Amino acid sequence: MVADRQPLLLALVDELLAEQGRLQTPVARFATAFRCAPVYHDLVPLSKPGPGEQYAFEVDLDSCSGCKTCVVACHALNGLEDNESWRAVGLIHGSLGPSAFQQTVTSSCHHCADPACLNGCPVLAYEKDPVTGIVRHLDDQCIGCQYCVLQCPYDVPKYSERLGIVRKCDMCQQRLADGEAPACVQACPTQAISIVKVSVTRNGATPPRCDTSTFLAAAPDPSYTQPTTRYISKKPLAAGLMAADAATVRTQSAHWPLVMMLTFMPMAVGVFTVTSVPAFSPGQPTTPDPTIVAWFGGLLGLASAFLHLGQPWRAWRIFLGWRRSWLSREAMVFGLWAGFATVTTMGSVGILPVEASLPVLRLATAVTGLIGLYCSVMIYVDTPREFWRWSQTGPRFAGTALVLGLAPVAPGAAACVLAAKLAWEFASFGGPAVPAQLMRGPLRRAATLRFFLGLAGGAILVSAPGWFGFFVTMGGEMAERYLFFRAVDAPKMPGGVRG
């Protein structure tokens, strides 16, 4: 019985499909008359900040009900990528006397009085607006080194693979300039977010300060960057509140090019330094010459660091941040080192006629290398991450330099230093700290590999001195550097229940 109606049905299918595909022309049916835009004046200040003031977000916790509209409105009204938003909503919970307590918390860039992102940027891709205090990211200046991601204790700048740069909240400065409220402010159904003016003390040489007493208790320590966001509430916030994701341990990105660079460069610096000490000058020439290995490895490391950048062709500006950024300093010093190391190596193999100056060149290479290595250490020490403090980063980087520097010329000594380093590293595996949890948990296999390669490298160095033991040891150091990046405990604003 269907067959009889087939022609009719076919025509109807075609007609309905055509109808389905037809949209009304906007002008014909939909166009809405122009009306005054809603700008929510009452949620932004009427005047620009005066001297000693800046704009800040104010979050009324008593109004924040956890709908998360701010996050999506930021995404939609700023035309961000599919999963990109410059706001996030977390949850803190605990007990207030006998009753349970939970509070959702919306957060964005805190437009800090003393922004770590800005201070660490090697190319000055951040600027703090002198009038509004908005910490603005210059997207066309950014080289995509992601150092600001490591620097910010609130996990604000986010890297975009598509663009090869980071992006972050600019407090909708284009809207504010017009008296229109930022996207999150205008979209909040309960008007929990507003823009206020806060005082910032700038006192010559000391870093700028603002009142952080209204900053969120369960967030990372505000003394570091002086975040300006005010979290206000009429009810007392319970003591001992925890982020809902407090027990979620997260591994961080490996940053493979940096793992490479931070293994090869200490090796190169170590070899050049050790061989510049007359006592360790190789008695008989080994093949290949350690200098060549170090030079080649060092350049490979630097190239690798270059490739880590999302926008490598903008990297020539990297000197701009030298006043404040250890990354800028490291790049400049290692640039110089590359020159010294190249001339020294070319001289030592006789390509360049600099034989007379070789000891001086070796010394210059060693000294610039050590300064560069110090800068490398400081890059990580300068972040708010516990696992990267001096006492952790210094011995790791210096230890790698020493072990791999000694290995070609004094394998026994190298094995001893390596044994000490392994024992010291092993101690960091215990305890409740997040890096230890990660290395015992999700990073267990990498940690096992690190010790296997370390022990094997040491054993080979002692039993059969030569390049094989050297490279196995270097593999172990590389695994240690991998753990250094992946197991770090990165501070952030409280997150939600992750499941």
Partner 1 sequence: MKAKVGQLLRARTGPMTSELVLHPGDFGLGRVPARLAPFATAKSVCGFCSTGCGLKIHLNARGEAINLTADPDHPVNLGMACPKGWEALTPLAASDRATKPLLRDQSTGRLHPVPWEKALASFVKNFQGIQARHGKPAVAILSTGQIVTEEMALLGALGKFGMGVLHFDSNTRQCMATAHVAYKQSFGFDAPPFTYADFEQSDVLVFIGANPCIAHPIMWQRVMMNRRSPTLIVVDPRKTETAMLATQHVALRPKSDLTLLYGLARLLIELGAVKEDYVSAHTTGFAEFRQFVSAFSLERTANESGVAAEDLVRCATSIARGQRVSFWWTMGVNQSHEATRTAQAIINLALMTGSVGRPGTGANSITGQCNAMGSRLFGNATSLLGGYDFACAADRDHVAGILGIAPALIPAEQGWAYDEIIDGIDRGDIRGLWIIATNTAHSWINHGRFAELRRKLDFLVVQEMYVSTETARMADLVLPAAGWGEKDGVFINSERRIGVTRKVARAPGAALSDFAIFQLVAEAWGCGGLFRAWRSPEAVFQILKALSRGQPCDFSGVANYAQLEACGGIQWPFPETNSADRGPEQPERRLFADGVFFTPTGRAAFLFDEPRPMPEPPDADYPLILMTGRGSSAQWHTGTRTDKSAILRKLAPTSLYVEINPADASRLGVTDNARVEVRSRRGSLAANAYVTAVVQPGQIFLPMHFPEVNRLTFPSFDPHSRQPSYKACAVSVSPLAE
- 34, 236, 285, 445: residue in contact with partner 1 (rule CB under 8 A): 34
Do 105 and 88 touch, CB atoms closer than 8 A?
A: no
In the shown chain, the binding pattern of residues 294 to 333 toward partner 1, with x for contact by CB under 8 A and - for none, equals: --------------------x--x--x-------------
Stretch that binds partner 1, among 14-22, 254-262, 376-384, 399-407 (CB under 8 A): 14-22
Do 328 and 319 touch, CB atoms closer than 8 A?
A: yes
124 binds partner 1 (CB under 8 A): yes
Do 185 and 44 touch, CB atoms closer than 8 A?
A: yes
**What's the maximum distance between 2 C-alpha atoms anywhere in the chain?**
103
Strands 88-96 and 99-107: antiparallel
130 binds partner 1 (CB under 8 A): no
- 106, 151, 186, 229: residue in contact with partner 1 (rule CB under 8 A): 186
- 54, 93, 421, 425: residue in contact with partner 1 (rule CB under 8 A): 93
- 247, 279, 356, 427: residue in contact with partner 1 (rule CB under 8 A): 247
**Please, is 306 exposed, middle or buried when counting C-beta atoms within 10 Å of its C-beta (0-12, 13-18, 19+)?**
middle
In the shown chain, the binding pattern of residues 333 to 372 toward partner 1, with x for contact by CB under 8 A and - for none, equals: ----------------------------------------
- 48, 50, 52, 76: residue in contact with partner 1 (rule CB under 8 A): 76
Instruction: Report the nearest approach of partner 1 to the CB of residue 228 (Å).
Output: 22
- 45, 155, 191, 256: residue in contact with partner 1 (rule CB under 8 A): 191
**Please, is 249 exposed, middle or buried when counting C-beta atoms within 10 Å of its C-beta (0-12, 13-18, 19+)?**
middle
Stretch that binds partner 1, among 113-121, 239-247, 357-365, 422-430 (CB under 8 A): 239-247
Stretch that binds partner 1, among 75-83, 223-231, 291-299, 424-432 (CB under 8 A): 75-83
131 binds partner 1 (CB under 8 A): no
Of 295, 389, 307, nearest to 339 by C-alpha is: 295
Q: With b meaning 16 or more CB within 10 Å and e meaning fewer, what string describes 375-407?
A: bbbbbbbbbbbebbeeebbbbbbbbbbbbbbbb
- 6, 47, 213, 287: residue in contact with partner 1 (rule CB under 8 A): 6
Question: What 3-state DSSP class applies to 496?
Answer: coil
66 binds partner 1 (CB under 8 A): yes
448 binds partner 1 (CB under 8 A): no
Stretch that binds partner 1, among 70-78, 282-290, 406-414, 468-476 (CB under 8 A): 70-78
Neighbours of 109 (CB within 10 A): 25
- The residues, ordered by sequence, that sit 6+ positions from 331 with a Cβ below 8 Å of its Cβ are 122, 315, 318, 319
Element (H, E) at 19: helix 6-20
Q: Quick one: 138 or 232, whose CB is closer to partner 1?
A: 138
250 binds partner 1 (CB under 8 A): no
Stretch that binds partner 1, among 181-189, 378-386, 412-420, 479-487 (CB under 8 A): 181-189
Q: Quick one: 205 or 247, whose CB is closer to partner 1?
A: 247
Q: Quick one: 13 or 351, whose CB is closer to partner 1?
A: 13
Question: What 3-state DSSP class applies to 164?
Answer: coil
**C-alpha to C-alpha distance for 172 and 488, rounded to whole angstroms:** 32
Is the preceding omega at residue 49 within 30 degrees of 0, hence cis? no
H-type alpha helices, 103-199: 116-120, 147-151, 173-176, 183-187
Question: What 3-state DSSP class applies to 393?
Answer: helix
203 binds partner 1 (CB under 8 A): no
**Residue pointed to by tokens 């770590």:** 116
- The residues, ordered by sequence, that sit 6+ positions from 431 with a Cβ below 8 Å of its Cβ are none
71 binds partner 1 (CB under 8 A): yes
- 42, 47, 83, 278: residue in contact with partner 1 (rule CB under 8 A): 83
18 binds partner 1 (CB under 8 A): no
209 binds partner 1 (CB under 8 A): no
Stretch that binds partner 1, among 28-36, 199-207, 265-273, 378-386 (CB under 8 A): 28-36
139 binds partner 1 (CB under 8 A): yes
Q: Quick one: 314 or 396, whose CB is closer to partner 1?
A: 314
Instruction: Report the nearest approach of partner 1 to the CB of residue 25 (Å).
Output: 5
Report in angstroms the alpha-carbon separations of 325 from 36, 37, 376: 46, 43, 11
189 binds partner 1 (CB under 8 A): yes
**C-alpha to C-alpha distance for 493 and 243, rounded to whole angstroms:** 8
- 201, 223, 248, 463: residue in contact with partner 1 (rule CB under 8 A): 248
Instruction: Report the nearest approach of partner 1 to the CB of residue 254 (Å).
Output: 20
Neighbours of 257 (CB within 10 A): 16
Which 35-64 positions form the footprint of partner 1 (CB under 8 A)? 35-39, 62-63
DSSP annotation of 25: P
Which 159-178 positions form the footprint of partner 1 (CB under 8 A)? 163, 165, 167, 170, 172, 174-175, 178
